[in-house]
Amino acid sequence: MQFTLQLDIPPLTPAVNYTDRFLLIGSCFTEHISDRLTQHKFTVCSNPHGILFNPLSVSMSLDRYVSGKEYGEDDLFYLNELWNSWEHHTRFSDLSKAESIKSMNASLKEAAHAVRHARYIIITLGSAFQYYLKENNRPVSNNHRAPGQWFEKRLLETAYIQQQLQQTIQNIISVNKEVTFIFTISPVRHVRDGVVANNRSKARLLEAVHSLCDANKQVYYFPAYELVIDILRDYRFYDIDFAHPNYMATQFVWEQFVKACMSEGTRSLMQRVLEITIAKRHRPRFPNTEAHQKFLKECSAKVDRLLTEFPFLDLAEERSYFESML
């Protein structure tokens, strides 16, 4: 018997190889994909501005990576005893103005390199709602717990979303002609907007992204949203807030992503690398036993074999750990 709908996901062309670099940007769902890519030792630059939910903030950030224009004191404001940026997540906020600028520009430098060398840019959009400062009509990426009356909330038009992202795609291709864009829509429900408003928001994102796919041969859509909403379709795959997909859901989406986007050789190597990264996380009660020492020697030998076969892998941290424990 069949208990779920079937979703045939077109394969990504060209498929991902281990030497390919990734730049990921967007909502908190981006973090789940980024963490798994990192665990498998892909070269990843993830959310250089921090978590971003709406397409305008994503577009503005990507355009900044292309221009490389650094941030200065005029880009900061002081609130709640911290220096903050309207374009950044709170992880860039700091007690020191200089330290905040330093961390923003360090991340910008990394992102400017990544946008020019990434084979794949994964963009995850979460909401079509955009907040603007009433004072100067400036779009903001994070409200930093500022008073609600400072902002006006607007639902972006589908055509505007498409227009902004299309221009960004063209800007990036001008500095990286080999790039492929992988768009996803986050399955996280923005229930604070209301169920109906959330669905309107997701619908606009979906329509805009599919229009981009139709207009650009270098744009691919991966259906993370549909995998959770239409295939899993059950609250047991959500966290206790009924809004965020839980581990089972995100792992299911990851497995489908690997099947659709990774080459056969890449998938095989991923299994071998995962054995090493999992082994490094193991914390024994009795590390000096003969059995554990044997385990460490076997892991160290596996690392050596992998590096002999695939010298491009970055396993320096794992090699150092196993050798230090022997």
Give pLDDT, residue 53. Answer: 94
The per-residue pLDDT for 78 is 97
Short-list 63, 24, 68, CA closest to 43:
24
Half-sphere exposure at residue 45, Cβ-oriented, CA atoms within 13 angstroms = 23
Identify the segments of the chain with pLDDT beneath 70.
none
Cα–Cα distance measured from residue 317 to residue 82, given in angstroms and rounded to the nearest whole number: 34
User: Are 280 and 322 within 8 A, CB to CB?
Assistant: yes
Q: Which pair of structure tokens corresponds to residue 316?
A: 């320096």
- Which pLDDT does position 236 carry in this prediction? 94
d(C-alpha 253, C-alpha 171), whole Å: 30
Contacts of 68 (CB under 8 A, 6+ apart): 108, 109, 112
Write down the pLDDT at residue 69: 95
- The pLDDT score that the predictor gives to residue 285 is 87
Q: Smallest Cα–Cα separation from 132: which of 149, 111, 108, 145?
A: 149
pTM of the model: 0.94
